[in-house]
Amino acid sequence: MTAVPKKIVVDEHGAPLEVIISWADYQDIAERLGWDLSGEEIADLQEAKSDWNAQKSEAFVPLSKVK
């Protein structure tokens, strides 16, 4: 991950309170961490992980079939 330019908001004692980042950086972070996924998408990923761990190869299609 690249460095994220930020502004740190501090209290009267200099202790950090908040961090301000650009909207574009926030969206990038949210996408990378999956914060933007719906409940259905999360359930699909959990099912795929379970199938992968159970070595259920029939649950997947070959990459050559993906358009």
- For 9-52, the pLDDT digits (tens) are 999 999 999 999 999 999 999 999 989 899 999 999 999 999 99
Provide the domain limits for residue 60: 38-67
State which amino acid sits at residue 49: K
pLDDT for residue 59 is more than 60: yes
4 phi and psi angles, rounded to 5 deg = -110, 115
Indicate whether 48 and 29 sit together in one domain.
no
Helix H or strand E segment including 48: helix 39-53
pLDDT of 67 reads 78
Q: In angstroms, rounded to a whole number, what is the distance separating the alpha carbons of residues 35 and 42?
A: 10
Indicate whether 30 and 45 sit together in one domain.
no
Indicate whether 30 and 4 sit together in one domain.
yes
Indicate whether 43 and 32 sit together in one domain.
no
Indicate whether 6 and 27 sit together in one domain.
yes
State which amino acid sits at residue 16: P
pTM across the whole model: 0.58
Q: Cα angle at 39 between 34 and 43, to 5 degrees?
A: 90
Q: How many domains does the chain have?
A: 2
Indicate whether 47 and 64 sit together in one domain.
yes
Indicate whether 60 and 45 sit together in one domain.
yes
pLDDT band at 1 (very low <50, low <70, confident <90, very high): low
